[in-house]
Amino acid sequence: ALHDSETRPKGGLTRLQFSTHAFNADGGLYDVSKVLNETTFAFNRQGYESYSKIHLSIFFAFTYALSFATLATTLSHVALFHGRTIWEQTKASFQHKFGDVHTRLMKKNYDPVPQWFYTLLVVVIGLTMLTCEGFGTQLQLPYWGVLLAMALAFIFTLPIAVITVTTN
């Protein structure tokens, strides 16, 4: 087993069990340069098969699993417990019926966002997608990865804000 390379008291824990690093079959740190072509950043299957399979600690695996579970539970919690309120306030704001004290203060004290900001935003997004396509072998991010990242940010901003506000 991976932790056998360390001496430990019976029932004791090792540094490998609580590590976030990747390990090789001997318990050493995984050398990515042996499985990755450094000029093209492509996966080298022959290097992988001759070097070692990648081993992760249970802590690392749980961290990944719980991170994905946290995202899913954030969406479902906000939808189930606050969804009706969010929907009603969204409908009312589009019909210009929602006017609490904060909305009135914001309209009174702040100008609307100027059009040049939206133009600049579209230009920067376009340049980002062109950069991703132009440096495809170095960045390894297709243009749709930028759109996916923006969609995820749009989807998760409100639920994470609701959780943050309600839990302080």
Q: What is the pLDDT along the chain (168 residues), one digit of tens a residue?
A: 455 555 655 655 566 677 888 888 888 899 999 999 888 888 999 999 999 999 888 888 899 999 999 999 999 999 999 999 999 988 888 887 767 788 788 888 888 899 999 999 999 999 999 999 999 878 889 999 999 999 999 999 999 999 999 998
In a domain, 142, yes or no: yes
pLDDT value at position 60?
Answer: 87
Domain boundary among 29, 56, 83: 56
Do 50 and 108 have their domain in common? Answer: no
pLDDT value at position 9?
Answer: 59
In a domain, 62, yes or no: no
pLDDT value at position 102?
Answer: 82
Separation CA 98–CA 87 (nearest Å): 12
pLDDT value at position 108?
Answer: 86
Do 47 and 78 have their domain in common? Answer: no
pTM summary value = 0.74
Do 47 and 86 have their domain in common? Answer: no
Do 72 and 137 have their domain in common? Answer: yes
In a domain, 5, yes or no: yes
Q: Which residues contact 79 (CB under 8 A, 6 or more apart)?
A: 159
Do 83 and 49 have their domain in common? Answer: no
Residue ranges making up the domain that contains 43: 1-56
Separation CA 68–CA 7 (nearest Å): 34
Angle between helices 115-134 and 143-167 (to 10 degrees): 130
DSSP, residue by residue, 46-90:
HHHHHH---EE-HHHHHHHHHHHHHHHHHHHHHHHHHHHHHHHHH
pLDDT value at position 59?
Answer: 87
Do 44 and 113 have their domain in common? Answer: no
pLDDT value at position 26?
Answer: 86
Separation CA 28–CA 22 (nearest Å): 9
How far separated are the first and last CA of the chain, in Å rounded? 43
From the list 1, 26, 20, the residue with the least C-alpha distance to 59 is 20
Do 73 and 52 have their domain in common? Answer: no
pLDDT value at position 7?
Answer: 60
Total domains in the chain come to 2
